[in-house]
Structure 1
Amino acid sequence: MLASPTRQVFHQTDRDQAADHFFKWASSEHWNPGHKGLDIKLLHSADPKGFFFSTVDPPSNTTTTEQLHPEKDEVVSIVSAVRYGEDQGWIGYYIASPKYRGRGYGIATWNRAIDHLTPDTRESIGLDGVMTQVENYRKSGFTQSSWLNERRHGSAVDLVEKQERELADKISRNEVEGLVLLSDPQVDLDQLPGIETKYCGLKRPQFVKDWALFHANHPEEHRVGVAILSSDKKDEKSGKPLVLGYACVRPAISSYRVGPVYAVDGDVAKKLLVKLAVDVVSAEKQSPLGVPLMFDIDIPDKNPAAVKMFDGLGWKNTFPCLRMWKGKIPDHDVNGVFGVTTLEVG
């Protein structure tokens, strides 16, 4: 007897469903998502209609010789498709259940995500593609690329206690001029979206400020956001010091995820990175979270200063992926990108 046809059903997630499904699935794929899925809840708020999962109505009649079918309400694939303004979008968390791969469930969910992003013509849709899927993404129209991300992996403890001990000691004594937490009232958060647009091309002002506050105001969760401020230049609108660079770190499952790190040069970037390590190592000593004190940061291969800095630290490239675009590559200055925000949403 042949099985009756199956029907794939697409669902938009609410905030808690996103944190549940996307955290569990990303963890199962060893993507190292943020601790307890808290960052996924924030990502969901960037576009509450842009997180999808799909289920399949099982056939009403099957034989024992037929292939395995999903149970009713069993999730078979997930994807996020986040809109940024009127002309940008981002694809992430594209995963099909390993049990049912090769059945078309994943590509059907992918198409639903693309439909979400293109009712009005967006000039740029981006994704960070794992190398094994690059050709498939090209077939789907992602024919442009801006750089290759290199995931650099290193010890926060070694950074503080060995590799950059002198700088770390100065930071601990508050002797590095202009280096402050993002929660410091001197920091003009309205400058941060412009910094991201300049360096990586994404235009998402509310998300950038929400991301900064997510890291700035929760030391109990070992999340840290820092900035370096100019000593002599001020923003024309706010009158506050110009932000020369800023950086964030958050705990994940097997390490701490760093991102973004935007900076005017390698000296500023290194001070930001070491400050993040100083604060994370100190937080773990005072209130152990249990996350390994290792840092993972995704850097663009086309920024020679970033490559030089992490090569000098001996941090190896453990996971390459290609930043790809459908449509126009946004204007950007990659020389200011020492770490992207996150592969999942750009």
Structure 2
Amino acid sequence: MISLTQTPHVPGEFTIRPMTPAEIALALDWAATEGWNPGKHDPQCFRAADPGGFFIGILRGEPIACISAVAYDNAFGFIGLYIVKPEFRGMGFGLRIWQHAMAYLGKRNIGLDGVVAQQANYRKSGFKLAYRNIRFQGVMTGETHADVKEVATLPFEQLLAYDARFFPSRRPEFLAQWVGQADAVALAVVSEGRIKGYAVLRACREGCKIGPLFADDEHIAGHLLGALAARFPGQLISLDVPEANPAAVALAERHGMTRIFETARMYTREAPAIELEGVFGVTTFELG
């Protein structure tokens, strides 16, 4: 998730470089302060997506700004984790690190989940609105189903191929970390040896988040949602749903979840050709 800072004045002694692993953790601490509620193990999972795609801005030795610009392959990238410390906003540092991230991703189709009110600023950088993502939140009563399996029991290549139907790029390094992280549950619905859907629930600074939630249909997505909720009874769970998939919105509402806020999913080119009707929950606003 990002919010764009623009101003023409840029003081000197400001440098931008790739983050160290410890600085990625620092950036997620800043994200927590902004109210974005990152997952407990997001730093190592995020870094696996593109170790060189996380940047920090340093002013006279002090980290004051950050951004992620993950290059998934030669055709697709995603910008997020864009933060300037409050006392340094309005000085041009945000624009500088934004331009650095955009240059890193080059001619790729670039996506982002941004603050809806900032769409005009994103358009100035070439982004076009694709649809809105809505964050739903609630405490659900879960239930288990016989067709739900642990993702760890499935061939990874099979999971990777299924994931690629709903995401613009294959992401093996990230996915391996994501489904295997601590304080998380990764489940799949399997029928006749084929994956019909999968989802991950991870513990966050507050409560839990589900993402992704990919499924062949609403019925399968409901099985996964219920099975995950059963593993974390009484927990506040968040789910980020593409508004362009009415079945996903209906699923969240049917489980008693309420809308918290929304983001604008935007791309520099046309929206990628994914099976959006099977996206019942996006992986993360920071990485797409």
Please indicate, yes or no, whether the TM-score normalized by the shorter chain is above 0.5.
yes
* Aligned position for 1:226: 187
Q: CA deviation at 1:319?
A: 1.4
Instruction: Tell me the secondary structure at the aligned position of residue 271 of structure 2.
Output: coil
Query: For 1:103, which of 91, 96, 108 is the aligned residue?
Result: 91
Matched, 1:52 2:47: no
Matched, 1:155 2:107: no
* Aligned position for 2:130: 146
TM-score, structure 1 normalization: 0.77
Distance 2:285 2:169 in 1: 13
Bigger helix fraction? 1
Query: For 2:219, which of 256, 262, 267 is the aligned residue?
Result: 267
Distance 2:265 2:169 in 1: 13
**Structure with the greater alpha carbon radius of gyration:** 1
Name structure 2 gaps, 5 residues minimum: 1-10
Q: CA deviation at 1:255?
A: 1.8
Instruction: Tell me the secondary structure at the aligned position of residue 152 of structure 2.
Output: coil
Instruction: Tell me the secondary structure at the aligned position of residue 55 of structure 1.
Output: strand
Paired residue type of 2:33: S
Paired residue type of 2:150: L
Query: For 2:102, which of 81, 91, 114 is the aligned residue?
Result: 114
RMSD over aligned Cα atoms: 1.5
Distance 1:305 1:327 in 2: 26
Paired residue type of 1:345: L
Distance 2:167 2:133 in 1: 12
Q: CA deviation at 1:44?
A: 1.0
Distance 1:331 1:197 in 2: 11
Aligned length: 278
Q: CA deviation at 1:74?
A: 1.9
Distance 2:152 2:160 in 1: 16
Q: CA deviation at 1:148?
A: 0.8
* Aligned position for 1:130: 115
1:27-58, CA deviations, whole angstroms, 9 ceiling, x for partnerless residues? 110000112xx2122111211111111122xx
1:54-76, CA deviations, whole angstroms, 9 ceiling, x for partnerless residues? 122xxxxxxxxxxxxxxx32222
TM-score, structure 2 normalization: 0.92
Q: CA deviation at 1:302?
A: 1.2
Q: Higher RCO, 1 or 2 (CA under 8 Å, sep at least 6)?
A: 2
Describe how 1:226-245 pairs up with structure 2 within 5 A: 226-230=187-191, 232=192, 241-245=193-197
Paired residue type of 2:45: L
Distance 2:230 2:185 in 1: 10
Instruction: Tell me the secondary structure at the aligned position of residue 80 of structure 1.
Output: strand
Q: Is the 8 A contact 1:150 1:319 kept in 2?
A: yes
Distance 1:107 1:191 in 2: 41
Distance 1:275 1:114 in 2: 39
Query: For 2:166, which of 187, 199, 215 is the aligned residue?
Result: 199
Instruction: Tell me the secondary structure at the aligned position of residue 183 of structure 1.
Output: helix
Distance 1:196 1:146 in 2: 20
Matched, 1:18 2:24: yes
Instruction: Tell me the secondary structure at the aligned position of residue 244 of structure 2.
Output: coil
* Aligned position for 1:319: 261
1:281-339, CA deviations, whole angstroms, 9 ceiling, x for partnerless residues? 3xxxxxxxxxx810001001111111111122231110100111012321012110000
Among all aligned residue pairs of Structure 1 and Structure 2, give the percentage whose two residues are the same amino acid: 34
Paired residue type of 1:224: V
Distance 1:77 1:334 in 2: 33
1:196-243, CA deviations, whole angstroms, 9 ceiling, x for partnerless residues? 3322433323322332222xxx3xx2x10000001x3xxxxxxxx110
